[in-house]
């Protein structure tokens, strides 16, 4: 018998679910597939998946082919690179660098700030000169 798992529990399919099925005598069948697949269960994987879509490594019908929303404002001296996606109303100030990141609607990246491999929430503020790397900044939060 396979034990039930409480709703909201974090479960490792490859370390818990499949071994439990095998131990219970269930038939488990695998299929080899060369298609792109990424478990986006962590913030880092979510950012990587977004970067892969923007860079064209994988197709998503949800992506319209425009990584910088038309209402985003990017200072000419700023750099938005590495498959970054900027949502509506995002502001990237002078000299800032946003690399391989997802920046949600209304977020502001301050002058000279560096954001790398990160997820920046809606209406979050990254202060001038701040360095944010491999991080998640929550909706409405500030990082300096």
Place of tokens 């990584």: 67
Verify that 47 and 104 share a domain, yes or no.
yes
**Average pLDDT of 17-30?**
92
H helix runs in the chain, sequence order: 18-23, 43-54
Which CATH number goes with the domain that contains 61?
Answer: 2.160.10.10
Distances (CA, A) of 88 to 9, 25, 73, 92, 119: 33, 51, 9, 12, 15
Verify that 26 and 54 share a domain, yes or no.
no
pLDDT value for 37: 87
pLDDT value for 8: 61
Verify that 1 and 53 share a domain, yes or no.
no
> What's the whole-number average pLDDT of the chain?
92
**Domains in the chain, number:** 2
Which pairing describes strands 114-116 and 136-137: parallel, antiparallel, or unpaired? Answer: unpaired
pLDDT value for 13: 83
Verify that 85 and 119 share a domain, yes or no.
yes
Verify that 15 and 39 share a domain, yes or no.
no
Pick 42 or 84 by higher pLDDT: 84
Verify that 22 and 57 share a domain, yes or no.
no
* Confidence check: pLDDT of 3 > 60: no
Worst-scoring range by mean pLDDT, 38-42, 108-112, 138-142? 38-42
Tell me which residue range forms the domain holding 22.
1-30
| For the chain, percent of residues with pLDDT exceeding 70 | 94
Verify that 70 and 121 share a domain, yes or no.
yes
Taking the C-alpha atoms of residue 142 and residue 25, their distance in angstroms, rounded to an integer, is: 51
pLDDT value for 5: 57
pLDDT value for 84: 98
Pick 73 or 1 by higher pLDDT: 73
Worst-scoring range by mean pLDDT, 40-49, 82-91, 99-108, 128-137? 40-49
Verify that 115 and 138 share a domain, yes or no.
yes
* Confidence check: pLDDT of 126 > 60: yes
């Amino acid at each position: 018998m396979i034990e039930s798992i409480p709703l909201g529990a974090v479960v490792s399919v490859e370390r818990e679910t499949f071994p439990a099925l095998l131990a219970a005598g269930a038939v488990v069948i695998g299929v080899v597939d060369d298609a792109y697949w990424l478990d986006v269960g962590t913030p880092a994987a979510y950012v990587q998946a977004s970067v892969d879509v923007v860079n064209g490594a994988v197709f998503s019908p949800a992506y319209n082919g425009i990584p910088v929303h038309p209402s985003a404002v990017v200072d000419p001296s700023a750099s938005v690179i590495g498959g970054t996606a900027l949502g509506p109303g995002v502001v990237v100030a002078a000299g800032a660098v946003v690399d391989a990141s997802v920046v949600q609607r209304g977020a502001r990246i301050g002058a000279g700030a560096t954001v790398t491999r990160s997820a920046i929430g809606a209406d979050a503020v990254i202060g001038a000169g701040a360095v944010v790397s491999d991080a998640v900044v929550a909706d409405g939060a500030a990082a300096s």
